[in-house]
């Protein structure tokens, strides 16, 4: 899979602010649970023994030992999958064909972390992970929970001028590494070679907060869905006003939400 990007003077290479995701070695499960986890920040854990799968799950091993059952996958002609405009198809492939294709292609995704916490364990191969703080959401050009920015390494700053204000957190995962991605953190993942990884998601809030029909954490919490409906009704109510009044009172609504809801003193940078 390959993509050709046409570059111009209106494009930039990277965000102006880059931070490294901390890499911690030989952290005990107790220390992670009682200290690191409570800080609600991404961190890479290195030195855990996650079994003989590390280094063993090569393409040849997987094809030889896994039953060749059909699996459902996204198939795209470009590395950057566009979950807004749907530049991919859903296909059913034999497992062996999926492994063969995956070993030749580089895939890239950019999306919000589910409302559940997430641990990703890198089993085989090397992977780059870029994350963005949920407090930078207003710089990421969201439509729903997806970003309109597809290539975060080559951003058109005329089209997305605010994106460079977002702080970028980077790390590379080696076989055996574990990364903790707290709920709501946006993440972009690039597999630099054939890779195998395992995700584990869990609910860290009271179960009543989550949509009961959403076992994977892809839907907004129940209270958020209700709030979005209220905002949509508020916007609709302003449509009877002239445009300049809509603009003014729309900004007033945004200001009120900022003053009431934004946790300005919360340090999750």
pLDDT for residue 182:
94
Q: CA 202 to CA 25: how far, in whole Å? A: 23
Residue 11 DSSP code: E
Residue 27 DSSP code: -
pLDDT for residue 229:
95
Q: CA 17 to CA 169: how far, in whole Å? A: 9
Query: Is residue 244 pLDDT above 90, yes or no?
Result: yes
> Is residue 251 a contact partner of residue 244, using CB atoms and an 8 Å limit?
no
Query: Is residue 2 pLDDT above 50, yes or no?
Result: no
Q: Which CATH superfamily is domain 11-209 in?
A: Cupin (2.60.120.650)
Domain boundaries, the chain: 11-209, 222-261
Q: Please write the tens of the pLDDT for every residue from 221-240.
A: 999 999 999 999 999 999 99
Q: CA 204 to CA 217: how far, in whole Å? A: 11
Residue 55 Ramachandran class (φ > 0 left, ψ -120 to 50 alpha, else beta): left
- For residue 182, the SS3 value is coil
Q: Which helix (H) or strand (E) holds 71?
A: strand 70-76
pLDDT for residue 8:
40
Backbone phi and psi for residue 257, each to the nearest 5 degrees, phi listed first: -65, -45
Q: Please write the tens of the pLDDT for every residue from 65-102.
A: 877 778 777 776 666 666 666 767 777 878 788 777 77
32 vs 105 pLDDT, higher one? 32
């Amino acid at each position: 899979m390959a993509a050709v990007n046409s570059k111009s003077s209106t494009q930039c290479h990277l965000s102006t602010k880059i931070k490294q995701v901390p890499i911690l070695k030989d952290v005990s499960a107790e220390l992670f649970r009682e200290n690191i986890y409570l800080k609600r920040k991404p961190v890479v854990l290195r030195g855990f023994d996650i079994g003989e799968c590390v280094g063993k799950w090569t393409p040849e091993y997987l094809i030889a030992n896994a039953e060749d059952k059909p699996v459902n996958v996204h198939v795209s002609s470009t590395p950057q999958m566009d979950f807004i405009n749907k530049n991919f198809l859903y296909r059913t492939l034999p497992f062996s064909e999926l492994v063969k294709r995956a070993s030749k292609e580089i895939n890239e995704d950019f999306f919000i972390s589910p409302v559940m916490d997430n641990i990703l364990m890198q089993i085989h191969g090397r992977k780059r992970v870029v994350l963005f703080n949920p407090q930078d959401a207003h710089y990421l050009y969201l439509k729903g929970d997806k970003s309109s920015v597809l290539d975060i390494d080559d951003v058109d700053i005329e089209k997305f001028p605010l994106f460079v204000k977002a702080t970028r957190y980077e790390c590379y995962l080696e076989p055996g590494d574990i990364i903790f991605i707290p709920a709501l953190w946006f993440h972009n993942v690039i597999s630099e070679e054939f890779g195998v990884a395992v995700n584990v998601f869990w609910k860290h809030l009271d179960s009543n907060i989550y949509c009961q029909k959403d076992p994977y954490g892809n839907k907004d919490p129940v209270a958020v869905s209700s709030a979005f409906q209220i905002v949509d009704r508020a916007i609709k109510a302003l449509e009877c006003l002239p445009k300049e009044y809509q603009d003014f009172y729309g900004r007033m609504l945004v200001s009120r939400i900022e003053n009431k809801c934004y946790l300005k003193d919360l340090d999750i940078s």
